[in-house]
């Protein structure tokens, strides 16, 4: 029997949410950004993820973002929607909205803020899957939810058809490699998607058996990640390494913000938005409070990295 292709594979950027200075969704900038991603040849779009500032947005804003993304994509590639909420019932509310707005798949984390253990986390995913018709993807991001999804749990959920794949942003590449092996051994016929969010080691994760990547930096250079993925799939690992090295250097834009006054979200999303504004894709680099936009000196540092990467 031939192992089925993953339900989601390739380059699936977690699209940022452009905002106006007043904090409203900049719909036209979002449309341009999605059009640019499609033109670069991406294989899917992840709306309302961490890079999309989903936890900062109101439900109305989330609906507006997803509606805009789905409409702009027009069925060209799958759209998976983040349903990032602290508890099961709240995730289901977002799942219902996402299905109504045309998403092709749903993405959920482990519960957070609420104190839970492995049994509650498994019950969470099984309850979600039993209540939705769209494919459900597990989002492993312990830095935000303070729980690492175990290899045992993900393998069990894959084998039982509960989750269709994982978006791994744990930074634990050893665990990801083990998961690849466990899926091959215990759930080989499920079409389970193994997506790495570790954008600076995509080539290594693809060599290990990843299905694709969900790179935040893919907002800035989607064509680079498409070239990287195609080189990996084609077994041209020398080309893949060169492209990955270039993208890894470009990732230095996240170091542009002053660490004395910023932390992870501002440095990451803020740098991506600043780069996109410099490239003329979005109108400005506004971010959600309590984050702050990059200032002139920080923007100049982002510009330097864009120039070194050949994007400006």
Q: What is the β-pairing status of strands 79-82 and 45-47?
A: parallel
Q: What is the pTM of this model?
A: 0.95
Residue 1, pLDDT above cutoff 80: no
| 214 in a known ligand binding site | yes
pLDDT band at 5 (very low <50, low <70, confident <90, very high): low
- 259 in a domain, yes or no? no
pLDDT of residue 171: 93
Under DSSP, is residue 239 helix (H, G, I), strand (E, B) or coil?
A: helix
Residue 4: pLDDT band by 50, 70, 90 thresholds? low
Q: Calculate the CA 46 to chain-centre distance.
A: 6
Summarised one tens digit per residue, pLDDT across range 163-200 is 999 999 999 999 999 999 999 999 998 999 999 999 99
Q: What is the pLDDT of residues 193-219, one digit of tens each?
A: 999 999 999 999 999 999 999 999 999
Cα distance between residue 258 and residue 297, in whole Å: 9
Domain assignment of residue 281, yes or no: no
Span 60-65, mean pLDDT? 98
- Catalytic residue set: 139, 167
Q: Is residue 275 part of a domain?
A: no
Task: Find the mean pLDDT for residues 49-59.
Answer: 97
pLDDT exceeds cutoff 80 at 65:
yes
Domain annotation covers residue 159: yes
Q: Distance (Å, rounded) from C-alpha 17 to C-alpha 61?
A: 10
* Pairing label, strands 165-168, 212-213: unpaired
Residue 173 lies in a domain: yes
Q: Give yes or no for residue 263 having a pLDDT over 90.
A: no
The percent of residues in the chain predicted with pLDDT above 90, rounded, is 95
Across the strands, what pairs with 14?
A: 46
Asked if the structure places residue 261 within a domain, the reply is: no
Owner of token pair 């389970």: 192
- Confirm whether 42 is domain-assigned: yes
User: Do the beta carbons of residue 46 and residue 14 sit within 8 Å?
Assistant: yes
Which range of residues forms the domain containing residue 130? 10-236
Q: Based on the structure, what is the number of domains in the chain? A: 1
Which CATH number characterizes residue 74's domain? Answer: 3.20.20.70
């Amino acid at each position: 029997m031939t192992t089925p292709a993953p339900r989601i594979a390739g380059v699936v950027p977690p699209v940022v949410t452009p905002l106006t200075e007043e904090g409203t969704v900049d719909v036209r900038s979002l449309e341009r950004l999605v059009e640019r991603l499609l033109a670069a040849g991406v294989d899917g779009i992840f709306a309302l993820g961490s890079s999309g500032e989903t936890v900062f947005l109101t439900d109305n804003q989330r609906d507006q973002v997803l509606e805009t993304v789905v409409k702009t994509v027009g069925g060209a590639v799958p759209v998976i929607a983040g349903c990032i909420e602290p508890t099961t019932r709240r995730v289901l509310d977002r799942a219902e909205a996402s299905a109504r707005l045309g998403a092709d798949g749903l993405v959920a984390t482990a519960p957070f803020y609420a104190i839970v253990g492995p049994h509650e986390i498994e019950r969470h995913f099984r309850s979600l899957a039993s209540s939705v018709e769209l494919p459900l993807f597990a989002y492993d991001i312990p830095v935000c939810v303070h729980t690492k999804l175990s290899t045992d749990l993900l393998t069990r959920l894959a084998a039982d058809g509960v989750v269709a794949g994982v978006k791994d942003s744990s930074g634990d590449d050893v665990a990801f490699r083990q998961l690849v092996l466990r899926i091959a051994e215990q759930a080989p016929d499920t079409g389970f998607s193994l997506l790495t969010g570790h954008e600076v080691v995509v080539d290594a994760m693809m060599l290990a058996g990843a299905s694709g990547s969900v790179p935040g930096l893919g907002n800035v250079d989607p064509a680079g990640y498409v070239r990287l993925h195609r080189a990996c799939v084609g077994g041209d690992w020398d080309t893949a390494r060169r492209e990955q090295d270039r993208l890894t250097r470009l990732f230095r834009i996240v170091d542009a913000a002053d660490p004395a006054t910023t932390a992870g979200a501002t440095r990451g999303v803020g740098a991506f938005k600043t780069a996109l504004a410099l490239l003329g894709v979005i109108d400005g680099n506004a971010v959600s409070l309590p984050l702050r936009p990059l200032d002139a000196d920080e923007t100049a540092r982002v510009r330097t990295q864009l120039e070194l990467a050949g994007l400006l």
